[in-house]
């Protein structure tokens, strides 16, 4: 299973774009990259998933370079309500064995 590394914490201000990078040097050919968001006292919830290049949805964008050894979650114009912990997961979509979350990145959005 690919090990992931993320910054422990990040601060931003309202209205700014935030980019959170995850390193996954030993990603396998059939692995997908999935990001989750967790608010206090709640379970994590799915944000976005990608395999290569760029994926965008109504919440975020995910940028994946050609070598796929890292990925960047981009949150456009963050608000105070985006303060949360963000987790990057790497694994095959066809098998959910041993999905490990790591410690995630605590994003704090300041007014």
Binding site for another protein (CB under 8 A): 32, 34, 36, 41-46, 49, 85, 87, 89, 91-104
Choice between 13 and 46, CB closer to another protein: 46
3-state SS assignment for residue 7: coil
CB of 111 to another protein, least distance (A): 25
| N-to-C CA span, the chain | 39
CB of 48 to another protein, least distance (A): 9
Joined together, the tokens standing for residue 24 give: 């996954």
Distance CA 90, CA 79 (A): 27
């Amino acid at each position: 299973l690919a090990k992931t590394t993320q910054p422990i914490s990040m601060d931003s201000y309202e209205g700014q774009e935030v980019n959170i990078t995850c390193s996954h040097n030993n990603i396998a050919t059939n692995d997908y990259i999935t990001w989750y968001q967790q608010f206090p006292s709640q379970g994590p919830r799915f944000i976005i998933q990608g395999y290569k290049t760029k994926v965008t949805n109504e919440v975020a964008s995910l940028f994946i370079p050609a070598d796929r050894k890292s990925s960047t979650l981009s949150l456009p114009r963050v608000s105070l309500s985006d303060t949360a912990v963000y987790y990057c997961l790497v694994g095959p979509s066809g098998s959910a064995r041993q999905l490990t979350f790591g410690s995630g990145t605590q994003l704090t959005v300041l007014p």
